[in-house]
Structures are given as structure tokens and as C-alpha cells.
Structure 1
Amino acid sequence: MKLLHHHSDLGCWEMALAPPAPALRGLVDTYSGYDERNTRFTRRHELPGIQAVLIVNLGAPITIIDTDGHTLPVASGAGFAAGLSDAYAVSDSTGSQRGFQVMFTPQGARRFFGLPMRALTNRAFDLADLLGPVVARDLIEGLQAVNSWDAGFRLLDAMLQQRMAIAPGFDIAGAREASWTLRQLQQSHGRMTVAALATELGCSRKLLAARFREHVGLTPKSVSRILRFRHALTLIDAKPARWSAIAQDAGYFDQAHFANDFRQLTGRTPGDYLADRLPDQYGLPVG
């Protein structure tokens, strides 16, 4: 487990990060526990990535405005989950938050929630609606009762493995194609074309897109866009550089293409992101 602490005029927070049990590798990317206190900001843009998320809120109430614009109040002792999004979502808080977070791969979220990933795209849902009230209650009450981040992660390991073991069957061939396509896109930082991927698989672009949306949630083109953006964030964080050089290295046509995508995916300009990004923290504070 990795433990991160931050204290500054932005506020103070603790974040614990841990990998899942070996049996969940490839299905869960990471667990995190977070405790934010008296942060100067109360609103964040939650940036898109290639994971689905489950959060159990153990602190003050928060409000989520998902990418489609639906508002979801999340009380203390409640939880929510969201699929992949093609732009940012918004979270509002009192300036303090505490909870546990699971970052699923698309394959893991498909198995855990037992739904086509397209049904979760750009949306956030109450855990009781997705898992049923009994399963959601048992998960939330279990995490409320633990006395350490590590104990919470062990509980998540046990609960996720149990649910995955009885997950309903689905189109295995389609899932394998979607997983292969996602790996190619990730390895190329979104540079591979849909046409090239479809040719490799021996299917039409239309069929590939349909299968990909079923098991990932977005189209290959949308995922490529997010992967380029995430690669650009890595380049920005690595060292100072001209925006034109970052745009070129990340695979954008030009700096204008980069700036336009950046604003649509974050709600901010690249310069604003650079000035406002949080150290060791998810999201982009906007108020």
C-alpha cells in the first residue's frame, strides 16, 4: 500500500493506494482511500479516463453532475458508480470528503455490474440501483466498520471476488475482441486507426465499434481521443515544454487540435490546467 499526504494552502489530505488481489488483476486497476479536510476548493472537474469507478462516501454529502448532465446527490453512507465518459464530470463537496474508490477496467466493470458498458457511459448511478439494495448495503456497512485503509481494501478484495465468481455469462468472443482492441489503442496512445484494427480482426468498422461499445462503453475513436489526452497529461507532468511540442508528441494534428480537445475534455485551457492541477490528487479544482 502506498500512502500519500499533502498539506498546503489548498488544504490537507491523505490518500492510500493499493493494487487488487492477484485474482482481480486485469479486472481492477487500483483501490484508493481518501480523506480530504478543509480544502480550499469545493468543486472539481473529474477528468475522463479508461476506467469505470465505484465510490463509497463515508464523509459529508457530495453531489455528482455526470457527463450527461444528470445530478446525483450522494449522502454519507451511500455510494455511486460511473462508466467511462467522453468528457469531464463534476463533483461538488463542502471542502471535505472521505471514502473508498475502486477503479475498474472496462472488462471488470462489465463483469461486476453485469450490464453492457454502453448502459453506464457518461452516467453516474446510485449503488443500490446497480447492485440491488442488499448488496449495496452490505458493501457500504462493511466499509463503514473497518478501522484502516488496508482492512477496507481486503474487504473490497473479498466482495469483488465473490461477486465476479457468480457474474452472468456474456459474449466471450466479443469481449476478447474488445479487450484486444483496447490494448492496441493503449499501447499506441490512441494512434492506431479503427480501420487498421478492424482489418486485423477481419471484421467491419461498424461491427467492431458495436462490440467495443458493448464491452468498453465508448467507441474506439472516443477512447483514442482520451488516450491521446492522457498521454498529453503525462508529458505535461514530466517536464516543461512548449504546447506545440506536447501536441506533436501526443499525436495531435496541430496545437489547435490539442487545445480544442483539451478544453472539451477538461472544461479548461491547457494553461489553466497547468496552473491549477493538484499534487498527488485526482480531478481539477474549479472553485
Structure 2
Amino acid sequence: MIGKSRHLDPNGQAQGSPPRRGAFGQGCGILRHSPPPGSYQHIRYRPPSALADWVEHFWMESWALRGCAPQTRVVLPHPCVHLVFAPGRSRIYGVQLSRFVRELKGDDRILGIKFRAGAFYPFFHKPVSTIVNTSLPAQQVFPNAIPAEKSVLACCDDHAMVDAAAQFLIAHLPPRDPNVDIACKIVEEIANDRCVTRVEHVTARCGLQERTLQRLFHRYVGASPRWVIKRYRVYDVLNQLSAGIPVAWAALAQDMGYFDQSHFNNDFKRMVGCAPGEYLELR
């Protein structure tokens, strides 16, 4: 998987670390990360059963860079909304349509909640597309987010932080919305089936008209069906490249509806920041 932050042993635990309850795989869309000195850790935790329909996972990020040069992380995000608890700056991050570049410095620890693609709308009550490529203070969606931030970040270990954040979100669960299940299922099918390369493949499977599908994604996912398809197929390409598996570029471009390979290469470069053939050199 692209974006491994730490190596895992066969039990899914970080090597050289004590066992972590609920921790699992590390793929988080990282394209590039500055090398040491300094330490950095990214760990993900499964949600409790009460949140399984709403949350993909919790993630914990910590770094110790005091006295070291700042580090840069370049991430290719999934089409998901995140609630991030950070000291004095807890925010809701909408879907990011391009690469997400961050600079890390000093010492810090933050906790994030990654909502399932399509599951944030009932919390927000507005089209998720209205917060694409931007963020807003967490208290604009959750009025008591500031005391929750203090409570979560005051916890002594990762597990307590995750538990506190989970209880906060459980207390704010909205009524069930059947469209959430539909949107989540469609996005997951796109993500898991690399044969889905065009919008018509999706409409044929889900039995929705293209305009209906567009409206559903505008309101619940925050990005168009075509963009979601392209993003996950680029993930597939990155995984293939990282694994040393050859990619039939011309056939892939044609399958995805591009006029020719050069148009696919241009889109790939806009998303990833380099041409397909340069990707491994920049890793």
C-alpha cells in the first residue's frame, strides 16, 4: 500500500512498539515524506461498532521534531471528510481534490476521525461539496467541540484519546439517512473494483440516472462520480508502481475515457505532482 508510515508485524502492530489495541494497517495516501532526523508516527484505529456505519477509522499522528528542520508531507487524500482534534485548532476538513501538503515542526500530537465517504452530510446538514478544498472550525458543526478538544488531547495515551473522541461522536449521532448507505456503498464499489473506470459503469450497477447520481455525490460525497473514479484508479496505479508491477498506460487511459495517454498523464501529474514515469524517483 502507498503511504506506509511505519512497518507492521504480522499481527498488524508497529515493529518495535508495544501492542496497540485496535490498531491496523498504515496506508494513508502519503506520496512523499521528508526523511529523518526527528521521529514521526501515524497509527489508525478501527471505530467501535456504534460508529462503524459513520466512521472509516480514527487516526493518531505524532511527531518530535524539536531542534530539527521542519518536515513536509505530501498526501493524496481519499474523498472523505475529517474531524481533527488539534491544540487550539480543531477543524473539519472537507474533501481535498488535489494533493494536500503539510509542514510539520516542533513536537505535537493530533487525533483525526475519518468519516466514511458519503457519511458526513447528516452531521453537517449542508451539501458536502460546499466545503471541498477547505476547512472550518469544528465548533461550527459541533458546538461543544472546544471542550471536547481539551478532553481528548488531555488523555494520557492513544487508546484513551480514541475512546474520548468516539464517545463525543456517539453523543452527536444524527438520525439514520438511507442515502448515506447508498452513497457509501457506491464509493466503496468504486474503490474496490478497478474495472469501474467510467460513470456509466456506476449507473449501470446502482440503477440510478447519471443526473441523480451527480446530485447524490454533490450532497453526500462532495466530489463528482467521475472525480472519485479517477482518484481511486490513480491509487491503483500508484500501488502497482510501488509493487513494481508494469502498467499498460495506453490501455488504462482508454479504459478511463481519456482521448489519449497524454491527457491521462496530465491528469496524473496534476493529482500526484509528477508524471507517471517519475513517481518512483521522487519516492
TM-score, normalization by structure 2: 0.75
CA–CA separation in structure 2 for the residues paired with 1:5 and 1:232: 31
Q: Name the Cα RMSD after superposition.
A: 3.1
Q: Is the 8 A contact 1:114 1:168 kept in 2?
A: no
Cα shift at 1:126: 1.8
- Of all paired residues, the percent bearing the same amino acid is 20
8 Å Cα contact 1:2-1:18 kept in structure 2: no
Query: 5+ residue gaps in structure 1?
Result: 58-75, 278-287
What one-letter code is carried by the residue in structure 2 that aligns with 1:55?
A: V
- Deviations along 1:18-65, one digit per CA (max 9) or x if unpaired, are 1110121132111121211226553333312132212122xxxxxxxx
Could you list the runs of 5+ residues in structure 2 that have no partner in the other structure? 1-11, 18-33
Determine whether 1:102 maps to 2:113. yes
- Larger helix fraction of residues: 1
Please name the residue that 2:229 is paired with: 224
Partner of 1:47: 76
1:13 & 1:115 partners in 2: Cα distance? 35
Structure 1 residue aligned with 2:93: 82
Shift of residue 256 of structure 1? 3.3
Contact 1:51/1:84, CA 8 A, preserved across alignment: yes
Alignment of 1:264-275 (within 5 A): 264-270=270-276, 273-275=279-281
The letter of the residue matching 1:162 is A
Deviation at 1:200, TM superposition (A): 4.3
Question: Given that residues 55 and 99 in structure 1 are in contact (C-alpha distance below 8 angstroms), is that contact kept between their aligned partners in structure 2?
Answer: yes
What does residue 149 of structure 2 align with? 140
Q: How many residues align?
A: 251
**Counterpart residue number, 2:29:** none
Shift of 1:220: 0.6
> Which one is further off, 228-237 or 85-94?
85-94
How far apart in 1 are the matches of 2:251 and 2:53?
A: 31
Q: For the residues of structure 1 that align with 2:16 and 2:214, how far apart are their CA atoms?
A: 42
Maintained 8 Å contact 1:54/1:102: yes
Q: Work out the CA distance in 2 between the residues paired with 1:3 and 1:247.
A: 39
Letter in 2 for 1:42: Q
Inter-partner Cα distance in structure 2 for 1:190 and 1:84: 24
Q: What is residue 239 of structure 2 aligned with on the other side?
A: 234
TM-score by length of 1: 0.74
Relative contact order: is structure 1 or structure 2 higher (C-alpha 8 Å, sep ≥ 6)? 1
Equivalent residue runs for 1:1-287 within 5 Å = 2-3=13-14, 9-38=36-65, 40-57=69-86, 76-94=87-105, 96-132=107-143, 135-164=144-173, 167=174, 172=178, 174-189=179-194, 191-237=196-242, 239-242=243-246, 244-245=247-248, 256-270=262-276, 273-277=279-283
C-alpha displacement at 1:16, in angstroms?
2.9
Secondary structure of 1:186's counterpart equals helix
